[in-house]
Structure 1
Amino acid sequence: MALTFLWLMLLAHAGLVSPQASPQQPPKTIFILAGQSNMSGRGGVINTTWDGLVPPECRPRASILRLSAELRWEEAAEPLHRDIDVYAVCGVGPGMAFANSVLQRHAGFGVVGLVPCAVGGTKISQWARGSNLYNQLVRRAAAAAQGGGAIQALLWYQGESDTVNEEDARLYKSRLQQFFMDLRADLQSPLLPIIQVALASGQGRYVEEVREGQMGIDLANVRYVDGKGLELEADHVHLSTAAQVRLGQMLAHAFLQTQPNLVHLHSSHAHHASKPLHTFLLHLLKPFLIISFSTNKIIAYIVYEF
């Protein structure tokens, strides 16, 4: 009884006794997924048919939503881009594995909203400011944030189509950097975290030139994960389902590294983030709790059965 009382005091003091967000409520944690077919997802697609296999890491959960083509929030499920990348057959992409991995590591993000925007076969020049693809991305991002949510990051995987032509490959870095700067400006988020994927494959001979451009971007809060070596489908261009799962987990790890306020209990910073009553109660409850701190709240998970 005493332990139960202390637990309730901790919840009340931390401001956590509140209704849980439901799928009908707009998510507060939003991620944009953009680029071309490997972001859209071709995992499990063979001869224009998706095998329908969804690995456990990509399964739906009530706390992961997607913004549909009609700008409505709905429970997310593979294929995430089914009504966005409509001129191809979509399969498994990295988005669901990314969201599940983020929530498994830090459930304090609450309900996560994914905004699919990727379209297969597109060049970086087709994403320039003022283009249809660019305008659609900005429109969907704005719609996603209307419910009070915050765009946490752009996940970007594109460039295979720019490996065919030498000039496209040569100009890729400057075009990509301009795209990132324009998008941040139009989203009014000058330091928006951007996590891109350095190519795992390409459609032409200039793969390394495009990869060098991707890895050479020199903007604050822009980082990359390296897709080189991930398993490809039989077409030698698209990632397999297993590779997409791995990529989603890599993107999640990279995103969490951009969040300096996620501090664990064993960190010395955790004591500075808590108030005196928190410190006293946490000292008593430490054997029974795993605590994850953010800047303005505490999320606690009971790992002890009363």
Structure 2
Amino acid sequence: MKSKLKESEMTQTLAPAIRGVMLACTLIAFHAVSAAEEYDVYLLAGQSNMDGRGLASKLTEEQQQPFEDAILFYRNVPHSSEGWQPLAPGFSMPPGYKGELPSPKFGPEIGFARSMLQANPDRKLALIKGSKGGSSLRVDWKPGVQGDPSSQGQRYRDFIETIRMATKELVQRGDSFAIRGMLWHQGESDSKSSTEVYQRRLEELIVRIREDVGVPELPVVVGEVFDNGKRDSVRAAIQAVAAGDSTVGLVSSEGTQTWDPGTHFDAPSQLLLGERYSAAMRELPIPEPGEMPAISEQSNLTKPNVLFITVDDLNDWVGCLGGNPDAQTPNLDRLAQQSVLFNNAHCQVALCYASRASFMTGMYASKTGIYNNSSKSANEAYRQAKHMPVWFGEHGYRTMCMGKIYHNDHGKKAYWDEIGPKTLRWGPEPPNGRQFAERFGKDAQDSLAWAALDIEEGGMPDEQIAAWGIEKLNEQHDQPFFLSLGFYKPHTPMTAPKRYFDQFDRDSLTLPEILENDLDDVPEIGRRWVLDRSKLIAEEAVRQYSPTYRRELVHAYHACVALVDDCIGQVLTHLDNSPHADNTIVVLCSDHGWHLGEKHHWRKWMPWEESTRSLLIVRTPNAAGNGSVSERTVGLIDIYPTLADLCNLSPPSDLQGLSFQHLLDNPKAAWDRPALTSTKAGNHTVRSQRWRYIRYIDGSEELYDHDNDPNEWHNLAGDPAMEAIKKQHAAWIDQLNQAD
């Protein structure tokens, strides 16, 4: 106890001075080694004695200096070295320490590197250190099944991610490297395990590490835990693993001392152990550089970033979808030309909250309970679901967002590592108020309104979201990122800077075709949904307001879409000119469509094409299908499992979406599932490549043939010749209901 007290007192007294000197030396030395180099890479993993509890102040002045020929990448989640740094004492996070790196402690890496460089003075070292005090092999370092993160312990996943991040940065710097070996020191937290159990677990860890880094006979040196009389089984297991494998070496703890009662090695012992690790490693057969996997073959060491962009209320009035000939969307069109464009993608509920709840959880509304814009309807399945950003965060991604990702912007704060600043959301409001509210009263306050704004550039929320996204893309990241940007327009009120209105000649704009008796063959429920809300969203209300108001709203919608296209274009341009360009998946979708008078309806929430059809573009680096169009009827619910596949993550078991990863390489490949959409509980739409089938809760039906009736003007549900088609599509609704 006395020695422990002295150690603590010295830490508090000397830590600030040590950190200041070391940080200054680190910055100077790192600049000197920033040119392209060739490195021997060694992996360091385990718990507190690998992380290091030796007091740096006990080292000589020379031993405290940064190395000239050795660098280190340290990550002890959530702490890290923020990339490669010159190796020096201080890359350790002792309990209770709340300062920044470098800390007052060090591990065996100092003695190891010094000894290795003395033995091989013409080599350069790169150490990847991922260690965590108190972690166990039984739980935290559980290696699980290769490629299945859900079967692996958190520390193991973190370590594999650390290797990916570190090697990726070496590649980006232009350095070459070979993974030469691994150092392992752990076991104090598993002292109650039997010899047989710990031996089996350690052997499994070594096998899995070798598989995951692509070096089948990676040399591994394991260190004995300190003999305090209570760890005999673990010590015996460690010794047995080394004795049974010629590619595994052993470091004895004999002759070492601890500064606390029998657990943490003191500074001289850490140096000694490091030297012993070096000696043991040099005795093992180390593959020559030519035997190592080439960089291109080590793609499993790098995870792609994800840029996930959502757009509110955007229908097919986009150049690449051809919904309206007057659309001006050069940036979205360019992205589509670089990607796979899904021209028959559909949402699962044509309403903001419900749609986003679906694609962020990979579940249908019938499972989450969310059919509307109220969070009160969410059930236990939704509350317990692993939302997309949560899942990516648990698998090593830094998750960031700004704007409308969920209906209330970011959802829960706990979903994200970083959330951008708040904005005016759908604003600014029309200077003279919302037109419909003035005419029809408070019931119409959230309905149709527009304004061409005199506003400085950068004043719109969507412009601010784009600027923040560009900031994030310009930052250095020490882990793969999941960056989500949610743009608000063209959601009402349809306000945009005047310059976007000026891009269009209102009088010559093409208005959507409307069939005057279009609702005559629509079942009563569908007609009631439109006509009973005439003050809010029916075509009748627009005509009542003004003979020109429909054209004004079409003009405003185009202007808002042009604004969003411009903002997205700025983000994509910065991405394409950034270091992340070749390793970032881009997914862009609208949450649902939007009516501009079709079916006598304005806005969304209906079971018809204008409501359910969504823009979906996916750009994956080097995908064979980039530049193509897929006509397969995918749903937004399929985005989550697809991204999980693309990022080599095992998705949660309760996802109802399906991965369409294979369509990114072959857009015409088989896809045997239609898109399913719900409008209130019990009312479902099935959209196959040719047909739209709607079945309401009372059993009434609609059926449209898109090959011959793209406007959905002629309901064929009453035609006896269509019974087989209806039955085929109705089976999907029955299957959905049975699943829930």
- Shared fold by TM > 0.5? yes
Give the aligned partner of residue 176 of structure 1. 202
Give the aligned partner of residue 86 of structure 2. 75
Task: State the alpha-carbon separation in 2 of the partners of residues 63 and 77 from structure 1.
Answer: 11
Give the aligned partner of residue 106 of structure 1. 120
Question: Alpha carbons of 1:108 and 1:52: their partners in 2 closer, same or farther (altered >3 Å)?
Answer: same
Question: Alpha carbons of 1:71 and 1:154: their partners in 2 closer, same or farther (altered >3 Å)?
Answer: farther
Aligned with 2:153 (options 96, 111, 131): 131
Give the aligned partner of residue 68 of structure 2. 62
Aligned with 1:244 (options 256, 265, 270): 270
1:224 shift after superposition = 0.7
Indicate the RMSD between aligned Cα atoms, in angstroms: 2.5
Question: Alpha carbons of 1:57 and 1:221: their partners in 2 closer, same or farther (altered >3 Å)?
Answer: farther
1:201 shift after superposition = 3.6
* Alignment coverage as a number of residue pairs: 229
Task: State the alpha-carbon separation in 2 of the partners of residues 22 and 139 from structure 1.
Answer: 27
Specify every segment of 5 or more residues in structure 2 that has no aligned partner in the other structure, as ranges: 1-30, 75-79, 98-102, 144-151, 289-740
Q: Are the aligned partners of 2:50 and 2:185 in contact in 1 as well (CA < 8 Å)?
A: yes
Aligned with 1:214 (options 238, 243, 249): 238
Q: Does 1:142 align with 2:164?
A: yes
- Residue pairs, 1:219-238, within 5 angstroms: 219-238=245-264
- Worse overlay, 208-217 or 134-143: 134-143
Q: Are the aligned partners of 1:64 and 1:112 in contact in 2 as well (CA < 8 Å)?
A: yes
Task: State the alpha-carbon separation in 1 of the partners of residues 287 and 197 from structure 2.
Answer: 37
Match for 2:142: what amino acid? A
SS in 2 for 1:186: helix
SS in 2 for 1:117: strand
Task: State the alpha-carbon separation in 2 of the partners of residues 87 and 136 from structure 1.
Answer: 21
Aligned with 1:23 (options 22, 33, 49): 33
Q: Are the aligned partners of 2:135 and 2:155 in contact in 1 as well (CA < 8 Å)?
A: no
1:57 shift after superposition = 4.4
Q: Are the aligned partners of 1:43 and 1:240 in contact in 2 as well (CA < 8 Å)?
A: yes
Give the aligned partner of residue 159 of structure 1. 187
Give the aligned partner of residue 92 of structure 1. 106
Q: Does 1:37 align with 2:43?
A: no
Deviations 1:273-299 (A, max 9, x none): xxxxxxxxxxxxxxxxxxxxxxxxxxx
Task: State the alpha-carbon separation in 2 of the partners of residues 172 and 90 from structure 1.
Answer: 32
Question: Alpha carbons of 1:90 and 1:124: their partners in 2 closer, same or farther (altered >3 Å)?
Answer: farther
Match for 1:150: what amino acid? A
TM-score normalised by length of structure 2 = 0.29
Q: Whose Rg is larger?
A: 2
1:142 shift after superposition = 2.4
Deviations 1:115-160 (A, max 9, x none): 1111111111110122221111112222333323111111110001
Question: Alpha carbons of 1:261 and 1:26: their partners in 2 closer, same or farther (altered >3 Å)?
Answer: closer
Q: Relative CO higher for 1 or 2, CA cutoff 8 Å, sep ≥ 6?
A: 1
Deviations 1:73-107 (A, max 9, x none): 1112112234xx67657612110111011101111
Identity %: 23
Match for 1:72: what amino acid? G
Specify every segment of 5 or more residues in structure 1 that has no aligned partner in the other structure, as ranges: 1-20, 45-50, 263-306
SS in 1 for 2:238: helix
Task: State the alpha-carbon separation in 1 of the partners of residues 164 and 95 from structure 2.
Answer: 22
TM-score normalised by length of structure 1 = 0.68
Task: State the alpha-carbon separation in 1 of the partners of residues 71 and 126 from structure 2.
Answer: 5
Q: Are the aligned partners of 2:194 and 2:233 in contact in 1 as well (CA < 8 Å)?
A: no
1:206 shift after superposition = 3.8
SS in 2 for 1:237: coil
Task: State the alpha-carbon separation in 2 of the partners of residues 141 and 87 from structure 1.
Answer: 26
